[in-house]
Structure 1
Amino acid sequence: MIKDILVSLRSGEGPDNTVDYAVSAAARLGAHLTGVAVSYEIDVPPVYTEAFSTDFIEAQRAEGKRLADQAVARFGEATRSLEITGEVRTIDGTPGGAAEQIAIMARLYDLAIVSQADPENLGSEEVIAEAVLFDSGRPLLLVPRSQSKPFSAKRIMVAWDGGRASARAVAESRPFLEHADFIEAVVVETGRSKPNALPGADLARHLSRHDKNVELRRLVPTGDEGIVDVLLKEVAARDIDLVVMGGYGHSRLREFVLGGVTRDMLDRMTVPLLLAH
């Protein structure tokens, strides 16, 4: 069951669609929602410290606090609008340091929700998403920046490749699968299977024992289509609410490195994406 959710509050001007989505998810699931706001500090390497005046650094800190306060105010308005139980935690730090703190914090929540990074204005969201995915041990729900619909898990697509991360994602998705009216398992046939991968039929058989009927589809890319092209086309054709997939990559000396398909999906996702690693 999902009863305790953490959402990363976006610093910056304007609305935060991810907070609205997280609030609707908490209301639908009957969960407590904690928002974490970051008062960002600039990351100045020691060798360059003398190049920045104390006044400049203090002004940057003040601006970071102002934006964090705005995020907290937005969160408060959203939680009050649906009368859910919520609380706020505020942390200070550089983007990398804050991401690590949020990932550690997420270990004691059932789910962490983070906004998709904005390719036109790269900020902290991508770093936070990668840190939570690799370092929290908990599932990550990524919300597109363009998301306007409230939470729904009526129509779920599982992107299945039979690997360990896919299996972990399916296990973490069970509280959402309970709400589904339609579950589709998609296997993209690329001609290159993972070693020891389990076939999609085995996934359908497994979920049937949880009283869930699964439609299994094997899709073949055409022309110059990639895996993500195929998945996104299927999402649109089947009016999918939520995609479940394994998050591939690794963490090396605290440096997070996403796999190509995972990175591409995060960049181009059109519906919320549940990831586990």
Structure 2
Amino acid sequence: MIRDILVNLTQGAENDTAATFAASLAATFSAHLTGLAVTYEIDVPPFYMGAVPTDFLETQMQENEAAAAKATERFAHLAAHAGVAYDVRTLNASLGVAANNLAQMARLFDLTVVAQPDPDRPGPEEVIAETVLLDSGRAVLLVPYVQKASYGGGRAVVAWDGSRAAARALAEGLPLLHRSEVVEVLRVLRGSEADVSGDDVVRHLARHGLSARTRTLHLGPGETSVAQAILNEVSDQGADLVVMGGYGHSRLRELVLGGVTREILAAMTVPVLMAH
């Protein structure tokens, strides 16, 4: 059951889609909602300190403080409007320290909500999302920066490859799947890849009182990527949620060679619950 939700408050955007979605999620589950507002410190390497004007640093810090205060005010309005119990935590830190602190905080929450990075508005979300996913030991719900709909259950796609990460995501996603009207277990196989049966997943979900169906997609050489196949299925089925494992390969390998997780993070169009 989801009783305690943490959300990283987005700054500098016209709308905080993560906070808005988290508030509707908290209202649905009668959960307590905690927002984290970070005043980001200017992380200037020591050998550059003399070249950066002091007044520039002071102005930038004032702007960062104002952005955090605005995010806090907006969050309080969203939570109050949703009728949920809430509190706000504040933090002054560099991006790296803030990401690590959020990951540690997330260990004592049922779910952490983070916005998808917006390619047109560079911000801290990518570092935040990846750090929490890899280091918290808990699931992360990523909300698209274009998300408009509030949480409402709907149709869920469980991307299943039999991995440890997929199993963690399935277990942590059960409360959300119980709220879904339709649950599909999706297997995407490429070439001679072993056919990891979804029947066991369906049987497991049935013992949790969930009715699910399976769908298997076989990709030939040169066909679309696994991530794109998942995204296409989400679009074709009109799904509202994806549940999947994150970083089945090492993060370094995905940074260098690409991978399903990074492709999903870049192109997701519906909320995605990931676990590592």
TM-score by length of 1: 0.93
Distance 1:236 1:52 in 2: 48
- Report the equivalent of 2:241: 242
Distance 2:204 2:107 in 1: 27
- How many matched pairs? 273
- 8 Å Cα contact 1:111/1:139 also seen in 2: yes
- 8 Å Cα contact 1:247/1:262 also seen in 2: yes
Q: Deviations over 1:180-206 (max 9, x none)?
A: 221100001212537xx8521211121
Task: Tell me which amino acid in the other structure corresponds to 2:141.
Answer: L
- 8 Å Cα contact 1:111/1:140 also seen in 2: yes
Distance 1:9 1:23 in 2: 12
- Report the equivalent of 1:274: 273
Task: Tell me which amino acid in the other structure corresponds to 2:214.
Answer: L
Distance 1:84 1:237 in 2: 34
- Report the equivalent of 1:208: 206
Q: Secondary structure at the match of 1:189?
A: strand
- Report the equivalent of 1:263: 262
- 8 Å Cα contact 2:35/2:88 also seen in 1: yes
CA 192–146 in structure 1, closer or farther in 2 if over 3 Å, else same:
farther
- Report the equivalent of 2:224: 225
- 8 Å Cα contact 1:157/1:184 also seen in 2: yes
Question: Aligned-pair distance for 1:54?
Answer: 2.4
Segments of 5+ residues of structure 1 without an aligned counterpart are: none
- 8 Å Cα contact 1:152/1:242 also seen in 2: no
- 8 Å Cα contact 1:158/1:170 also seen in 2: yes
Q: Secondary structure at the match of 2:38?
A: strand
Question: Aligned-pair distance for 1:53?
Answer: 2.6
- 8 Å Cα contact 1:13/1:67 also seen in 2: no
Q: Secondary structure at the match of 2:219?
A: coil
- 8 Å Cα contact 2:187/2:196 also seen in 1: no
- 8 Å Cα contact 1:6/1:34 also seen in 2: yes
Distance 2:219 2:122 in 1: 30
Segments of 5+ residues of structure 2 without an aligned counterpart are: none
Distance 2:156 2:224 in 1: 22
- Report the equivalent of 1:71: 71
Distance 2:47 2:152 in 1: 49
Question: Aligned-pair distance for 1:218?
Answer: 0.4
CA-based RMSD: 1.9
Question: Aligned-pair distance for 1:157?
Answer: 0.6
Q: Secondary structure at the match of 2:190?
A: coil
- Report the equivalent of 1:103: 103
Question: Aligned-pair distance for 1:210?
Answer: 1.4
Residues 1-277 of structure 1 mapped to structure 2, 5 A cutoff: 1-191=1-191, 193=193, 198-221=196-219, 224-248=223-247, 249-250=249-250, 260-277=259-276
Question: Aligned-pair distance for 1:229?
Answer: 1.8
Task: Tell me which amino acid in the other structure corresponds to 1:123.
Answer: G
Task: Tell me which amino acid in the other structure corresponds to 1:137.
Answer: G
Q: Percent identity?
A: 46
Distance 1:139 1:13 in 2: 24
TM-score by length of 2: 0.93
Distance 1:83 1:44 in 2: 41
CA 168–149 in structure 1, closer or farther in 2 if over 3 Å, else same:
same
- 8 Å Cα contact 2:36/2:91 also seen in 1: yes
Runs of 4+ that moved beyond 4 A: 256-259
Distance 1:106 1:59 in 2: 31
Task: Tell me which amino acid in the other structure corresponds to 1:227.
Answer: V
Distance 1:236 1:6 in 2: 28
Question: Aligned-pair distance for 1:13?
Answer: 4.3
